[in-house]
Amino acid sequence: MTQRSAYVTDLRTLQSECTANYIRLTRLLGELEEGESREVELLNGERRLGALRLHVEELAPYTSIIRVSQEGILDGVIDSPRMRVHLYHDVRMAEVTDFQRRRHFDGRYRYPNAHMHQPDEKLQINRFLGEWLDHGLAHGHSLDLPQLP
């Protein structure tokens, strides 16, 4: 019988993902102020798939909190993804701290566990955010109108 080794958190990969997500989010947010939002319409050719919504909940010199959600064609049928992301400006990293109303994710979990989290759940959630933001950057169009003087 072979013994399984315990999962070891890959901090380098997690930190790389959080750094890349910081860059993605700051590109999408632009110069938004606290309380403001930006919607990025997601398209597949001419077909509208929904909108990625970024809302600045808190804006501070070292930490900001952004709510990221999506509305789309399956609203009411399935729960649309939503998360809260902390941006740490001093280290230029963004970390998911709340996903689908669940807070605090450990760096690793024993498997199986009561909530059926994957051993690398925290990395997977931050990777999902990265893929989501990449899609918005590649296929999205801002619904914000230009500011008039």
pTM: 0.77
- Domain count of the fold of the chain: 1
The answer to whether residues 97 and 87 touch, using CB atoms and an 8 Å cutoff, is no
Per-residue pLDDT, 58? 97
Share of the chain above pLDDT 90, in %: 42
The answer to whether residues 32 and 12 touch, using CB atoms and an 8 Å cutoff, is no
List, for residues 21-52, the tens digit of each pLDDT value: 999 999 999 999 999 999 988 877 788 878 89
DSSP result, 42-90: EEETTEEEEEEEEEEEEE-SSEEEEEEEEEETTBTTBPPPEEEEEEETT
List, for residues 77-109, the tens digit of each pLDDT value: 556 788 999 999 999 999 999 886 666 666 555
At residue 145 the predicted structure's pLDDT band, cuts being 50, 70 and 90, is very low
Q: Tell me whether residue 1 is in a domain.
A: no
Q: Tell me whether residue 144 is in a domain.
A: no
Which residue range is the domain that position 27 belongs to? 11-139
Q: Tell me whether residue 146 is in a domain.
A: no
Q: To 10 degrees, what angle do helices 121-139 and 11-29 make?
A: 30
**Position 75 pLDDT exceeds 90:** no
Give the distance from CA 55 to its chain's centroid: 12
Q: Tell me whether residue 120 is in a domain.
A: yes
Q: What is the overall mean pLDDT for the chain?
A: 81
Per-residue pLDDT, 106? 62
Q: Tell me whether residue 148 is in a domain.
A: no
Per-residue pLDDT, 147? 38
